[in-house]
Amino acid sequence: MNQKQQATAKARTAISPTREENYAEWYQQVIKAADLAENSSVRGCMVIKPWGFAIWENIQRVLNSKFKATGHRNAYFPLFIPLSYLQAEADHVEGFAKECAVVTHHRLAPGPDGKLVPTGELEEPLIVRPTSETIIGVSFAKWVESWRDLPLLINQWANVVRWEMRTRLFLRTTEFLWQEGHTAHATADEAVAETMTMLDVYADFAENWMAMPVIRGEKTDGERFPGAVDTYCIEAMMQDRKALQAGTSHFLGQNFAKSSGIQFTAQDGVLQHAWTTSWGVSTRLIGGLIMTHADDDGLVLPPKLAPAHIVILPILRDDGSKDAVLTWCRALKADLEKHVYDGQCVQVELDDRDLRGGDKTWQWVKRGIPLRVEVGPRDMEAGVVTLFRRDRGVKDKQAVARDEFVGEVVALLDEMQAGLLDRARAFRSAHTRVINTKAEFESYFAAPAVAEGVPTPIHGGFAWSHFCGDPAVEEEIKDALGVTVRCIPIDDADCPGGAGGTPGECVWTGRPSPRRVVFAKAY
């Protein structure tokens, strides 16, 4: 293939630049092409558009059912938190101090030049919710009196504000949507069990709904949630081989209970502080979904989270067949919607817009709809549909008998869902390595030299290496290579060869190490 032919072949992808050419810009262009979200006029904030919000609604639907199945109830707490509440928990306020948005006035009035200026200074500044442990703790202190009031299992769906300096749609924005669970328990063991239960809920959701394989593990001291005793997480590998922290679950011990006054009379009559937890995921999951599955033609959606499973594209000609084709397609849609997939009716879009066929096709390709069905007069006469599977790219197509397609659509969606998870697991496995020497570690993660203005090539992946546990050493590695300990894995079987828990020597210092950890560059 000559240079002209190569340039033409590259131009055939719907997304430019491609993942290989510039991954960061590719990500932004996938979001734009799929019509998921856009930057708002407020710095660092985003507008989530209907297709993107429908994905979030599906995430909410599934997780909400899981939370309720494990005994949690939804509530809602104020957006504004008095500064004194955060100051009561010193480690917590220190951890979030640089990210807090602060309200100091409660009205606007015309200034000397006629322009509106803040006035009416508040007696106490209010923090716009970065997380809710402190203000929820105040309510818990009112609700809990006796051991009979425990456990208290609460979740809220809300927005939070963290004043980020560098923002990226879905992955890191000043305002984002999330859920945060908060629970109180009579014993440390119960609280720890809750922490691990919710971590497992997140891992199950990530793998079996998002088709995104994750490693469950504990954070190091330097990565722990401010004020927590222990922080656990799920970590996933994106297609640029960086890690994404996709969910966290925190054992808070009695720290927040003491600062908020959450006390109860135990069965033995002794007054004691409760043991608490918190856990959460956010719209960052949509970013993870994109970076796990999308390709150079746009979004690829796991069927379980797709806003629609199938789009029917009738081929309408000016030969008198239009009405018959539309009637046939409407009947097909009705028959497909009789089937149930993942607890809801199969979702079908019938796109009969007066738009060029190629434009309609590419809109749906870029949006990542799992199945695309084309029906023209000849298909109708033959009793078949022309079927395109998004997980196999844009060119894969097959003619399938109409009734066969209707009868097997649920099995087909299941096959696609499982296939996406298998593909993501294979990708992670291909870019995961056990590393035992500092030289190999540095080589694995070092960025190759590139010309100015040229995107940094993809490098590294997950490294399973021994680590001495010293926060100063972790900081040194981060400064040198931009690499952090993503987690201390819970399951040794996740390690290639299953040897994660075997003692050894720290890959950076040579000091004794109790086990291997996962190192990676991360978002």
Strand (E) or helix (H) holding 71: none
Same domain, 90 and 126: yes
Tens digit of each residue's pLDDT (9 = 90 or more) over 217-245: 999 998 999 999 999 999 999 999 999 99
Same domain, 442 and 395: no
Same domain, 228 and 348: no
For residues 28-48, give the mean pLDDT: 97
Tens digit of each residue's pLDDT (9 = 90 or more) over 197-207: 999 999 999 99
Tens digit of each residue's pLDDT (9 = 90 or more) over 334-367: 999 999 999 999 999 999 998 887 899 999 999 9
Q: Residue 468 pLDDT more than 50?
A: yes
Same domain, 335 and 408: yes
What's the distance, Cα to Cα, between the start and end of the chain in Å? 37
Q: Residue 1 pLDDT more than 50?
A: no
Residue at token pair 């425990």: 150
Q: What's the pLDDT score for residue 457? A: 52
Same domain, 143 and 123: yes
Q: What's the pLDDT score for residue 11? A: 55
Q: Residue 153 pLDDT more than 70?
A: yes
Quick check: helix, strand or coil at residue 295? Answer: strand
Q: Would you state the structure tokens that stand for residue 176, as one six-digit string? A: 């984002």
In a domain, 13, yes or no: no
In a domain, 18, yes or no: no
For residues 498-521, give the mean pLDDT: 94
Q: Residue 68 pLDDT more than 50?
A: yes
- Of the residues 401, 429, 457, which one is the last residue of a structural domain? 429
Q: Would you state the structure tokens that stand for residue 63, as one six-digit string? A: 């997780």
Same domain, 166 and 99: yes
Q: Residue 478 pLDDT more than 50?
A: yes
Tens digit of each residue's pLDDT (9 = 90 or more) over 162-191: 998 889 999 999 999 999 999 999 999 999
In a domain, 278, yes or no: yes
Tens digit of each residue's pLDDT (9 = 90 or more) over 292-331: 999 999 999 999 999 999 999 999 988 888 999 999 999 9
Q: What's the pLDDT score for residue 7? A: 47
Q: What's the pLDDT score for residue 447? A: 66
Calculate the CA dihedral of residues 317, 319, 323, 327 and round it to 10 degrees: -70
Q: Residue 9 pLDDT more than 50?
A: no
Q: What's the pLDDT score for residue 86? A: 87
pLDDT band at 109 (very low <50, low <70, confident <90, very high): very high
Q: What's the pLDDT score for residue 88? A: 82
Same domain, 318 and 172: no
What CATH number does residue 372 fall under?
Answer: 3.40.50.800
Q: Residue 275 pLDDT more than 90?
A: yes
In a domain, 2, yes or no: no
Count of domains in the chain?
3
Strand (E) or helix (H) holding 189: helix 188-208
Give the range of the structural domain holding residue 508, as residue numbers without chain letter.
432-520
In a domain, 199, yes or no: yes
pLDDT band at 453 (very low <50, low <70, confident <90, very high): low
Q: Residue 90 pLDDT more than 80?
A: no
Same domain, 436 and 357: no
**Residues 243, 249, 255, 261, CA torsion sign:** positive
- Among the listed residues 236, 250, 288, the one whose alpha carbon sits nearest the alpha carbon of residue 56: 288
Q: What's the pLDDT score for residue 333? A: 98
Higher pLDDT, 88 or 105: 105
Do the beta carbons of residue 77 and residue 135 sit within 8 Å?
yes
**Residues 4, 10, 12, 15, CA torsion sign:** negative
Tens digit of each residue's pLDDT (9 = 90 or more) over 379-425: 999 999 999 999 998 888 999 999 999 999 999 999 999 999 999 99
Q: Report pTM.
A: 0.94
Question: What percent of the chain is modeled with pLDDT above 90?
Answer: 86
Which of the residue ranges 98-102, 456-460, 471-475 would you say has the lowest mean pLDDT?
456-460
In a domain, 15, yes or no: no
- Of the residues 293, 328, 348, which one is the last residue of a structural domain? 293
In a domain, 11, yes or no: no
Q: What is the DSSP track for 225-260?
A: PTT-SEEEEEEEE-TTS-EEEEEEEEEEETHHHHHH
Same domain, 79 and 215: yes
What CATH number does residue 482 fall under?
Answer: 3.30.110.30
Q: What is the distance between the alpha carbons of residues 218 and 215, in angstroms, rounded to a whole number?
A: 10
Pairing of strands 271-273, 263-265: antiparallel
Same domain, 167 and 217: yes
What CATH number does residue 58 fall under?
Answer: 3.30.930.10
Quick check: helix, strand or coil at residue 36? Answer: coil
pLDDT band at 441 (very low <50, low <70, confident <90, very high): very high
- Of the residues 396, 429, 462, which one is the last residue of a structural domain? 429
Same domain, 69 and 158: yes
Same domain, 190 and 322: no
Q: What's the pLDDT score for residue 522? A: 96
Averaged pLDDT of the chain: 93
In a domain, 491, yes or no: yes
